[in-house]
Chains A and B, each alone.
Chain A
């Protein structure tokens, strides 16, 4: 019985100029082009109302694109309803059927896919085993904990061997400790089975942790896409820089260009970093809080406005002619008092010019 394995029919997803308009003029998704490679986990990340969930639901077939083309594998599915697409989805609320046992829930999709009863049962049992819930098959969803319900929902979607597996904020109903565990489980299953996964979240840390690629969305459009590292280290604009990790955005002057390197100046302090196609003149620089060097002998004059002890580190709010920045410092034994005048410099790596 248990020799039934869950395989993968992972397929790529492609959006070509897809838009979604609700009613007459509410544009939820505006002319998106997107390519999700087979076997990759891609995260749609963005603040609420940015169109990420609508995009996911268009892949599922729960919303129909107003214009453009959606392809799964090499098939045009733009006009296909959810029933006829080879896609399954894990819902934020799990959406387990409360009147069916765990096994019946997992078997549900299999019965509509033309599997014989025995086959459906053994596949469902294997699916439960895969998520570590063997022996729970006769329970009702109401008798499971939140994390277990979540895993049933995953098993139910997995056993169909979908071309694409969708997750809609799957961790938002779990408590903080469980989240890390479950997201690692999801990532492990995805990599073991080589599934194509599209994952929606508004939590940037979660996105950085699980993704092969992240698509940051803003106002119904794609702001930037790339690997977690690319997005964190080289955001395209203020929005992405601020949304992924925290970033201090400072105005600066590019005073010198030398090949691929640019030298910037803020209040007399100079720093050299990659040019990113910019030319001399006004520019914006993004600096992560951990990349601000506090107390170097040269740097921008600033004053400590607030100092907060959070256990592993100190958090400072610094003010100066440039405005206000947020910095962290690992030295908790000799904290700076509010009011202290200091000089603030940048770490060698990390600060980045924003082309957008």
Chain B
């Protein structure tokens, strides 16, 4: 056994010191044109050209001298290479070097921008700078990581978390990226709300925009229009209530009725996961719009004029209910199944009738689930962007108002920021209420003990209406989805109903030439971009999510609750808010990634991270802690334990997180629509663009294709997860060999 405390080779330390020097001396310091994936710079003046030069060369040429102090921070750790880890000097030097380097990097990054000094007081102190800098590139980012991990190694050497370098570094890493990509943009957005047109800060501006009539007006009681905030709130409450009731009906039918086609009902719940949110809105237009089939049918029947009743509140309500009921169902099925049958059987043996049992035992025990489902529906409705955009008409809601404040003719960042704050306030309140509510009550009745009972059937008086509602709604859902497929093969809806595949041809035509395929369809560009970005984002999302889940379930450290709250926060932040805050925060140095593919990847990672975290936590809490502990006592360190024991046992969770984040990245619209650029256009924003041009055929054909692509992805997952069997400790092992 090697004595770990006295050894003087530190492979991890050497790695990060080397990385720091490489970042400083070899890689271009600033963001190069063409993004991270372009390597033109290698042939184009590197390493002396100012745009491509590494920091060391810049300083050598007497430019960007403010980068020079970083050399001290890079040199410091070289001093401790020969010292032992328990030496207090080792820890102090690393902390000093990391903090100095990281701090200086951030300070200079924020102080000096594309127009010289960013702050007037700096200019007053040092005079005109006469130089400028762009966003961080390879060199700067690698240097920053190097400093960060030098710092965490120093903290670990001081004895934090038993001196565990992996855990301290993971915590440091997660905190840094969450701060950079969640808290920083949100904070930046909050500040934007106070900025006047000429760039000064003013409270008055904030108040004048905040108390705008378009936001809080109550005109709808006198026949005119209400403010967007009230509209959003009212809509969200309605959607929350309706989806919860419908979800409960479905859950009851599946668990407590003699209905035979339960599997088919369950299959409906996969649909919203693979459907871009606004597609339902499109289908509703085909059915109930001005030239919709149902509208026309009734118009001819009664000889009335078709109306535009769908556009506005009713349309959005129907579309969101269709889209989010399955989510409520997924929440409630767990709760309804979780009610221990023996409780209900106990009630029955105590002479309660089926109806009394349901009313006094089953329903009260489902209460937390109902609250949870309502809040989820509420948040989803608040955050939904696609449906209000397609169906909103004159009914303004916050998410679309934010969009028009940024992209419309008014271009008013301050207003967008204030709208986003109001939206954020609503969703965070709901998020907070949910945590408080669920924190106090626990009706979890699923224990490790076998529970042999069966759920009693619903009382007849209840089961008939519940079954009718559930089946009626299921039928409606099926009709809506059928319309989507049908709509994609109709020439021009409502005008020329002949069947055609021309929309698919326009979107996805391919020409075969001698030895190459040419993707001539209009949709291919955005399609491949979407697939690429989603494929890059998925593994990163899963990785960040699982590491975070590992820290939350397996480690204890100071500030863990705040850490958890911070990582789950982005779940409650609507996509539109993320979108606005990202363009406000990331179109100027030090992190200048607007218009690149990176910003899309980053936004997906942090939008979908909570899902990865939840999946990870759920399956990690199933793993007995003694597995990790025995690995540790057998001489593996925490990284080796994570890799050899936890990860292999989490394969199903990893796959689920991968596919889920892939699919979510493909269907997302709300944040994406702010972040796409001509070069990196995503499928969803392309489709929305088609819809705005009234090109429904193409839009629907493209959406249908996306649905089938994602159906394939989900199917593949089911297949893979089905096959990945983990030999759990059971008395009757079924696996003969692996």
Contacts and interface: CB of A to CB of B under 8 A. Distances in A.
Looking at B5, B633, B735, which has the most chain A CB atoms within 10 Å of its CB? Answer: B633
Nearest to A90: B630
Contacts of B4: 80, 83-84
A98 B635 CA distance: 18
A83 B632 contact: yes
A139 to B, nearest CB: 8
A10 B738 CA distance: 38
B619 interface: no
Determine which residue in B1, B631, B645, B649 has the highest number of CB atoms from chain A within 10 A of its CB, and name it.
B1
A53 B733 CA distance: 31
B164 interface: yes
Nearest to A92: B626
B629 A95 contact: yes
A82 B633 contact: yes
A64 B635 CA distance: 17
Contact of B640 (A61, A112, A160): A112
Given A84-B5, A95-B624, A99-B649, A141 B727 contact: yes
A80 B6 CA distance: 12
Contact of A112 (B636, B727, B728): B636
Contacts of B640: 112
Interface string B1-40: 1111100000000000000000000000000000000000
B630 A91 contact: yes
Contacts of B644: 97, 108
B159 interface: yes
Given A80-B5, A84-B5, A99-B727, A62 B737 contact: no
Contact of A62 (B629, B635, B645): B629
Nearest to A64: B162
Given A62-B629, A89-B633, A142 B735 contact: yes
B12 to A, nearest CB: 14
A108 B635 CA distance: 9
Given A112-B640, A142-B728, A93 B626 contact: yes
Contacts of B627: 95, 97
B634 A98 contact: no
Interface string B620-651: 00001011011111111110100011001100
A256 to B, nearest CB: 56
Interface string A61-75: 110100000000001
B53 to A, nearest CB: 43
A62 B638 CA distance: 12
A62 B649 contact: no
Contact of A79 (B163, B630, B645): B163
A156 interface: yes
B1 A81 contact: no
A281 interface: no
Nearest to B640: A112
Interface residues of A, number: 41
B736 to A, nearest CB: 8
Given A82-B629, A91-B630, A97 B645 contact: yes
Which of B164, B630, B648, B733 has the most chain A CB atoms inside 10 A of its CB?
A: B630
Contacts of B636: 83, 108-109, 112
A143 B1 CA distance: 33
Contact of A89 (B5, B630, B637): B630
B164 A113 contact: no
A142 B638 CA distance: 25
A60 interface: yes
Interface in B716-738: 726-730, 733, 735, 737-738
Given A91-B629, A97-B627, A160-B634, A114 B2 contact: yes
B5 A99 contact: no
A141 B630 contact: no
Contacts of B1: 86, 113
B629 A93 contact: no
A96 interface: yes
A84 B84 CA distance: 15
A152 to B, nearest CB: 11
A87 interface: yes
A196 interface: no
A88 B645 CA distance: 17
A113 B626 contact: no
Contacts, number: 105
B629 A89 contact: yes
Interface string B369-392: 000000000000000000000000
Interface residues of B, number: 36
Nearest to B732: A142
A138 interface: yes
Nearest to B641: A83
Contacts of A153: 630
A113 B645 CA distance: 17
Contacts of B159: 79
Interface string A205-239: 00000000000000000000000000000000000
A109 B626 contact: no
B727 A88 contact: no
Contacts of B634: 88, 108-109, 112, 156-157, 160
A140 interface: yes
Nearest to B159: A79
Contacts of A113: 1, 635
A113 to B, nearest CB: 5
A140 B1 CA distance: 29
Contacts of B624: 93, 95
B163 A81 contact: yes
Contacts of A83: 4, 632, 635-638
Nearest to B628: A95
Contacts of B649: 97-99
A113 B727 CA distance: 26
Nearest to A144: B733
A140 B738 contact: yes
Given A95-B624, A112-B640, A81 B164 contact: yes
Interface string A160-177: 100000100000000000
B630 A98 contact: no
Contacts of B3: 75
Pick from A60, A95, A97 the residue with the most CB of B within 10 Å. A95
Contacts of A98: 649, 726-729
B626 A91 contact: yes
B689 to A, nearest CB: 48
A140 to B, nearest CB: 4
Interface string B146-174: 00000000000001001110000000000
Nearest to B164: A81
Contacts of A79: 159, 162-163
Nearest to A96: B729
Nearest to A149: B729
A96 B733 CA distance: 14
B163 A82 contact: no
Contacts of B737: 138
A149 B4 CA distance: 31
Nearest to B629: A62
Given A98-B726, A98-B729, A142-B728, A87 B162 contact: no
A60 B2 CA distance: 17
A29 to B, nearest CB: 18
Contacts of B730: 142
A81 B632 contact: yes
A259 B27 CA distance: 90
5 contacts: A79-B163, A84-B4, A97-B631, A109-B635, A143-B727
The 7 A-B residue pairs with the shortest CB-CB distance, nearest first, are A109-B634, A142-B733, A95-B630, A95-B626, A143-B733, A82-B632, A84-B4
Given A79-B162, A93-B624, A98-B726, 12 more contacts: A62-B632, A81-B632, A83-B632, A83-B638, A84-B5, A88-B634, A99-B726, A101-B738, A108-B631, A140-B738, A142-B727, A157-B634
Interface of A: 60-62, 64, 75, 79-89, 91-93, 95-99, 101, 108-109, 112-114, 138, 140-143, 149, 153, 156-157, 160, 166
